[in-house]
Structure formats: C-alpha cells, structure tokens
Structure 1
C-alpha cells in the first residue's frame, strides 16, 4: 500500500450524500481531505452544517476549487455535474467520481465507466472517470446480476422497492416534510423511474439478446435511510441451484452477501453492504435486496470505487457497523 495519501476534493459537500462522503473520507486512513466545496455555505465550518462532525474537523467549506488533488467527488444535483465540468477543469491526472446521473448511460457517449464494482471491477480499476450508480439501481441490479450472467433472466421482472426520505435530498417538497412522511407511504414514478435506464444497460451488458422488461414500482417509506427491494420473476431452477449461483457470483465481492435466511433493512443501515435472499413458490422466485441508500447506494460505493481506482484494498475506510436496533 502506498504511503502517499490520496488528496481529495468534494464538490457539493453540504447535502446528504456530500455529508456522508465527508464522514467516510475524514476517517479514511489513506485520504487527505483538501477541500469541501459549497457555494451556499462557503467559509462556514463543515460541522456547522453536518453537526455530528463537531470535534472531528475544523475544515471550512469553500467556494473555490483547487487543482492540487488526486480525485474529485461531485455530489451535485442531476444536471449540475455536467455544467460544473464545463466551467471547471482539472489536470489530466485528476480522477473524477460523479454521484449524479449525468454520466451513467452509455448512450450519452462519454468517457465515464459505470461504477458498479460487482459488474465492472476491472474497468473501474483502469478508469479515469467514474459514474456512480443510482441507489435504486444498485439494489435492483445486485439482485439480478447472477441470473443475467447465466442468461437466465426472463422476459418480465416485477420490482417493488421502498426508500427512505434521504433519497429525496435536502430540498423541501410536500412529500419530504416530516408531517407528510411520518406514518405514511406512497408510490411515485411507477414504471417510469429514471434508474430503469441504467439498470437496463447493465443487464444488457451481461444478457444482450433477451433484455427483460422491468416493471418497477418505487415507494416512499416512513424512515430516513435504506432501500428494501422485492424482485419477483419466474425460474425453473431449484432454490438450492439459485443459492449456489448467487453465492458463487458474489464470492469475490466483499460487500454483497447472499443469505439463506430472510433479510431486513436494519442489517445494512450505516454499512456499505448489500444483503440478498431468495425464496421460491412453485416457479415464482422472490429475490429481496437491502442496502443503505446513502452508503452502498451512493457515498460508500463512491469510496469503494476510489479504493479500486488507486489500487487500495476495496474495503479500506468502509468497515462500518450496522445500527442493529
């Protein structure tokens, strides 16, 4: 392992994903945090915005970008990353990890590698720019990749997934107010969610000739963080064969684990894990997948990608403890 620490900049550090990223980077043993950029909070201490970091850092937010870094994370709103990179340039050696959806799709014809390590680990290691996957997309793809690799995905797949309120970002809206969200649940963007495109591209990468139709129903949950996805499809494989398939596929991936028992959300909250479980009734298969939307679904996966880019142990800085209760 190199003794030279990775010099890091974070753009958009005041939001939920930016804050989560700062928490990880400040504790990462191979990282020096050079700057945290925020136009709205420039010259304020980071702990003034992310109050849990009081005592951990005295660094101030800045509205300036320095080039004396090795990697920059973009934690900006969708559409803003593309604008930021048009207005700001970095030296050719600086690696870019974008957490928005601006560069995730192949049809956008950009140089970004899609940053799902369980799918593209080799390409990530050799990349210059990484497009971090979406949170729903991560949970759903990890539930399906082993079947796709064996060309076993059926024509139709049904997905119902519920997400915590942090998935909506910090901006206030009717459906993100506590008084609306508490003791409530609702469907949004049924069949049309923006993450469907990146899911489709990844599955087609493994199973190009018979791309499945994914019928996806996203839901808002009455909790702050996490995604629990329930995927239903038909398969003639026995449960034991399915379990072997998933165990084999994820054997070399340190954060995705197959469980022979039922899973629940608290097992993954505050971790970079994805847990997957399977049960079967006749030819109907239920695959459940659980992640923390801010970690494996965003900032944790971004740090995982950084580790791969710089030849570090994939797990370094990400051995986090679940909340449990």
Structure 2
C-alpha cells in the first residue's frame, strides 16, 4: 500500500487554497495535516468554504508544523518569499508555491532551496527530481500549452494573443472590477501588452526556441509575445486565442501537436471548435488549431483555478512523489 503524503497548506481561505483542499480531501494518497490561517484560526474549514460542510472535520490552524512531507503556499504574490524568510521550514519538507515569487530567473532560489518551474508538459523530468516547485500562472499555462509545439519547431515569430478570464482570476479580495454589478454584462481589456505573465511565458518558450523574445545584433526583436488580457462576465475559466504566420498545413500541425502531447494526460487536441465548459471544473487544457491561408490561430481553454493553479499543483505533487500523474484529478467537466 502506498503511504499517504502528509500535507500542510498556508493560505487556505482563498480561491486557490479552497480548490486545493477540495482536491486533497478526496485524493487517495493525501492526508492534510494542517491548513494555516491566522485570521480564521480555530474555525471549521467548512465555515469559510461552505460547500465542504459534511466533507471534512478540519479546522484552520494558527501554528505551523514541520511534521509534513510537502507544504503548499497559497499566498499572494510577494508573500511566499516573505513567508519563507520569516518561518523555518525543515529542509526535508518539499514546497509547492502557487505565487509568482520563484518563477522567473534569476529569482528562483531562497536560502538553500531552488525552485523548478512546474509546467509538467515542459519540465516533467525535472519536476520528478525536484524538491521545490514554482507553480505556473493561469494565463501563462493556457498560452504556453498552445504555443510549446510551435516553439519546439522554431516557428514562433511575432505572436498576437488575446485571452479572457473569469472573475475568480482576480482573487477573493474585493475590488471594483470583481463586484457582480460591475462584471455582469460587461467585458474589459486590462494590462494591455504589460501583463506579468508575459515574462514567464517568454522564459518557457525560450527553453524550446533559442533567443525567443531577445533582440538580435541590430537591436531588432524578431520574435515576441504580444498579449491582451480581458476580464469576462463569468466566474471561472480562461479562453486563449494566439495568432501567428505559419506555412505548415493544418494536417501537419495537428500531427505535430498530437506528437508533442502524446505523454501529457491532461492536454487534449480537438479537431472541433473548443469552448470554455470543456475545461471548467477539471484539470484539462483543450486545444484547437485553425488555419486560414497563411495564418494559424491556436485556441486553448483551461480552468484558471485547476489546471491554472491548484489542479496543476496537485499534478506536480503527484510527479514529485512518484505517483500516478492523474491521481486525485479525474474530475468531471461542468458541462451543464
């Protein structure tokens, strides 16, 4: 019998923490030892995540414990590095960080810990050997999975990407643009060409296509990602459309993508038009290729809280501990 993994969670009261709890209480090889939250210490987890009533007796803890195998950090950007600076985590405890604090070179280390970028479709073997994982961003995951096969073939030049995300992508803290009265019947572009995930995406594409995003000797950039994100009138999910110039036929491209993702259980290549509900409430990324003349458009859809956050974090945990990559992640799409 496979022994259960002992798990600690820091930041369990937010969206990603809640999704992580929902996954792990039903994971066959997981046992949650503590869920840390100073502001909710002593309260039942189901008093905050009210859909979990009757599902778990766990309460939020004020104290940390090193009697665990892995620690998930579900805290805000900038808070994970601060947390590790202020708290002593035993060297044998593995860490999976869901913030952006350790994703970008050269800032992937702290003390004696070095973080591996946790996109399984790109770094699976490195993840299996890792002790610390920097979980990818949600937009970054959806865009990268749509572009990685093209980067491996050296086909990326100027990429024009548009993506729309639901209100949960903004986190649980209240803001004007997360209020129902603002979101309802409304769409808005934001962080045009400046979104923080662009650097993360470019770093990964450069792993497969040398020089992506860099200027040549004349100072001209021959390959780059131009990304415009949108806020949408729905709660969860991301829909991405990336456009490039490409001379390959749709048949050749389809074969390229299927070959690249043949060992990726959660990345699916569809020959039919994709839509958001195919990915909501599960850990899949569904990709569709459309070729019109010399233009290629790659559509990719994910759930921002699962494949874009907590689901991918559990996928990384499975890989680190030598489990079935899909353990605890066989989820039903929210189709209706």
The yes-or-no answer on 1:269 pairing with 2:272 is no
1:114 aligns with 2:117: yes
SS in structure 1 at match of 2:7: strand
1:105 offset after TM fit, Å? 0.3
1:207 aligned to 2:190? no
**Which residue number in structure 1 is paired with residue 86 of structure 2?**
87
Among candidates 194, 197, 203, match of residue 195 of structure 1: 197
SS of 2:331's equivalent in the other structure is coil
Deviation per residue, 1:179-211 (Å, 9 max, x gap):
000110000000000000110100001101343
Equivalences for residues 18-37 of structure 1 within 5 A: 18-37=17-36
2:220 equivalent in structure 1: none
Task: Give the superposition deviation at 1:6.
Answer: 0.2
Tell me, in whole angstroms, the C-alpha distance in 2 between the residues paired with 1:81 and 1:216.
26
Q: What is the TM-score normalised by the length of structure 1?
A: 0.98
1:151 counterpart residue number: 154
Q: Name stretches of at least 5 consecutive residues in structure 1 with no aligned partner.
A: none
Counterpart secondary structure, 1:105: coil
1:129 partnered with 2:132 = yes
Q: Does 1:313 align with 2:316?
A: no
Who is 2:271 aligned against? 260
Structure 2, unpaired ranges of 5+: 214-222
Q: Could you tell me which residue of structure 1 aligns to residue 73 of structure 2?
A: 74
Aligned residue number for residue 14 of structure 2: 15
For the Cα contact (< 8 Å) 2:159–2:226, is it kept in 1? Answer: yes
The alpha carbon displacement at 1:3 in A equals 2.2
- Give the 4+ runs in structure 1 shifted more than 4 A: none
Q: Alignment partner of 1:272: what SS?
A: coil
Counterpart CA distance in 2 for 1:306 and 1:150 is 30
Number of residue pairs the alignment of both structures matches:
323
Which range moves more in the overlay, 310-319 or 81-90?
A: 81-90
Correspondence for 1:167? 169
1:67 to partner: Cα distance: 0.6
In structure 2, C-alpha distance between the alignment counterparts of 1:227 and 1:19, rounded to whole Å: 19
| TM-score where L is the length of structure 2 | 0.95
Q: CA deviation at 1:109?
A: 4.4
What's the CA shift for 1:106? 1.4
Local SS of the residue matching 1:179: helix
Once the 2 structures are TM-superposed, how far is the Cα of residue 135 of structure 1 from its aligned partner?
0.1
User: By how many angstroms is 1:63 displaced?
Assistant: 1.5
Matched, 1:217 2:228: yes
Structure 1 residue 107, shift from structure 2 partner: 2.2
Structure-1 separation of matches of 2:117 and 2:176: 32
RMSD: 0.8
Shift of 1:213: 1.0
1:303 deviates by 0.1
Q: 1:283 aligns with which of 281, 294, 301?
A: 294
Q: Do 2:205 and 2:212's aligned partners in 1 also have CA atoms closer than 8 Å?
A: no
**1:208 counterpart SS class:** coil
